A and B are shown apart, each in its own frame.
Chain A
């Protein structure tokens, strides 16, 4: 599938792929049952080639995906299902790993790794440590 945003940068880009709506020669594409992510054959636009380092939290999201699937809570197919069910707007407003953690979390809850109540309590606990890693390191 064509990338509409640079997955590493997560920078929203204007999506040129929708121009087929205006092209009578390509109306075969204009099927309302076609899901938004199934974009093979669309104009892709330029491919961003710039790179950047991953931040710590992004690496942790990646690790969580590997651990969650290794323990059998879900598969890459479950990851993709939730990403695709988020809809097109999520690809314009969320970065790559923001979408991943949302999908990994939903799959872990569906798979029974933890409950929503447990997640809420843990998020509250973590938030109390402070906004930065430095704050957290100095927390009692």
Chain B
């Protein structure tokens, strides 16, 4: 049973690698990849703590809406743990 997660719908103005089109969207953790230095800190030359990074799988229909072609196709994106929250209510 893969863990359901939702990407936090945050919109900070700084250096962020979490794509806008995935914010607020729900998916499942396909695998956890280990810990990597946070690019949000590296970008400013700060010491960057290694944070857990996950490969999250989304349904295309959940990202683009039910009218999208092939809504059951999936998209994988690598998202840092601090951008994810549990989404037990997701379909």
Asked if A12 lies at the interface with its beta carbon under 8 angstroms from chain B, I say no
Among the 9-residue stretches B13-21, B27-35, B78-86, the one with 4 or more Cβ atoms under 8 Å from chain A is B13-21
Prevailing SS type, chain B contact patch:
loop
Q: Nearest Cβ distance between residue A118 and chain B, in whole angstroms?
A: 19
- Interface set, chain B 1-38, CB cutoff 8 A to A: 11, 13, 15-16, 19-21
**Do A31 and B45 form a contact, CB below 8 Å, given A41-B64, A84-B15?**
no
Interface string of B48-84 (1 = CB under 8 A from A): 0000000000000001110100000000000000000
Residues of B within 8 A of A (CB): 11, 13, 15-16, 19-21, 39, 42-45, 63-65, 67
Q: State how many angstroms separate the Cβ of A11 from the closest Cβ of chain B.
A: 26
Question: Which A residues fall within an 8 A CB radius of B?
Answer: 25, 29, 31, 33-35, 38, 40-41, 74-75, 77-78, 80-81, 84, 107, 110-111
Which residues of A lie under 8 Å from residue B63 when comparing CB positions?
A: 41
